[in-house]
Amino acid sequence: MIVRSVRRCFGGTQGYYEHASLRCGGPMRYSVYLPPAAERGPVPALYYLAGLECSEETFPIKAGAQRVAAELGLALVSGDTSPRVARFPGDDASWDFGVAAGFYLDATEAPWAAAYQLESYYVEELRQEVEANFPVSSVRRGIMGHSMGGHGALTLALRHPELYASCSALAPIVAPSQVPWGKKAFQGYLGSDPQRWAEHDACQLVLRRKHPAKILIDQGTDDKFLSEQLRPELFAEAAARAGQALELRRQTGYDHSYYFVATFIESHLRHHAALLGG
């Protein structure tokens, strides 16, 4: 582990780090906020997955989550959204595929399969890295995310409920198999096999793999991506069919920005703390 910086923050510490990743073909960066309670023993860890064009710095800088995390005794972990060292032709040709757009899945198509292994990175490498180097619990974990990261939080929680005891999302892509962002990413990373797509689509996953805890989702009604890319009503319908406990809150007048995230982050942290025992 390489320590890039550590600063005091609300009685705890906000740190930025780097470590070697076999899954992503080179060094990956991540951030960890440790609350004051971490000085007395292991605390629950909440993993945050960021959206398109973001990095491990976006959430700790923009969301304003540290104050409440300090109160609740939650560690906040945020990783990067794609490999940065392993590079492939065309990986920066568009903002919604390639660099900063890994979609939290393990790519099966060349050349992306060589390094775009974001699911394995998060559930194996980053988790093990954090638990080996910081005073966080190895059994009390939650996961949340925004936009593309909301897609990641939902799918990873549904695919790995034994790892994540709590889940929430802000403006998530819930049906990637049916919307332009998801179709582009899935075709590029997974090829044309619809079964591979279904394994990373929250609306299809929840019909087969319910999460034991209630899922919380917030969605702004003035989000410019709402009707074409996000489609939260599709997940609400699928969750109702599956019997998945879900609280979907439609927030009047809010858009897709981090002003929206910052407004509702406190209630999300309290949702996770109630389930994780922060």
The answer to whether residues 19 and 1 touch, using CB atoms and an 8 Å cutoff, is yes
Quote the pLDDT of residue 277.
Answer: 87
Tell the residue number behind the tokens 């074409």, with chain if given.
228
User: Does residue 233 have a pLDDT over 90?
Assistant: yes
pLDDT beyond 90 at 278? no
147 is catalytic: yes
Residue-wise pLDDT tens digits, 155-214:
999 999 999 999 999 999 999 999 999 999 999 999 999 999 999 999 999 999 999 999
- Secondary structure percentages of the chain, helix, strand, coil, to 5: 40, 25, 35
Q: Which residue has the tokens 């809150």?
A: 249
pLDDT tens, residue by residue, 200-216: 999 999 999 999 999 99
Region of 42 please: left (phi>0), alpha (psi -120 to 50) or beta.
beta
**160 catalytic per annotation:** no
Of 256, 268, 271, 272, which one is the catalytic site residue?
256
pLDDT at 136 over 80: yes
> Is the CB of residue 98 less than 8 Å from the CB of residue 92?
yes
Q: What is the pLDDT of the chain when averaged over all its residues?
A: 98
**Catalytic-labelled residue, pool 91, 168, 223, 271:** 223
* DSSP letter for each residue of 19-50: E--TTTTS-EEEEEEE-GGGGTS-EEEEEEE-
Positions of E strands within the chain: 2-9, 12-19, 28-34, 43-49, 75-79, 136-146, 166-170, 215-220, 246-251
| Range 223-252 average pLDDT | 98
Does 192 qualify as catalytic in the annotation? no
Q: What is the CATH number of domain 2-276?
A: 3.40.50.1820
- 43-49 and 75-79 strand pairing: parallel
Report the pLDDT averaged over residues 127-148.
98
b/e 87-109 (16+ beta carbons within 10 angstroms → b): ebeebeeeebbbbbbbbbbbbeb
Q: Is 228 exposed, middle or buried, given 0-12, 13-18 or 19+ CB atoms closer than 10 A?
A: exposed
pTM for this entry: 0.98
Parse the chain into domains and list their residue ranges.
Answer: 2-276
pLDDT of residue 180: 98
* Integer angstrom CA distances of residue 265 from 23, 48, 120, 203, 219: 30, 11, 26, 24, 12
Which tens digit of pLDDT belongs to each residue from 265-277? 999 999 999 999 8
Q: What is the pLDDT of residue 234?
A: 98
**Could you read off the pLDDT of 105-121 as tens digits, one per residue?**
999 999 999 999 999 99
Tokens 């960890």 locate to: 32
Q: What is the mean pLDDT of residues 32-37?
A: 98
> Which residue is catalytic, options 21, 31, 55, 147?
147
Which comes out higher in pLDDT, residue 38 or 277?
38
pLDDT at 218 > cutoff 80: yes
Q: What is the SS3 assignment for 168? A: strand
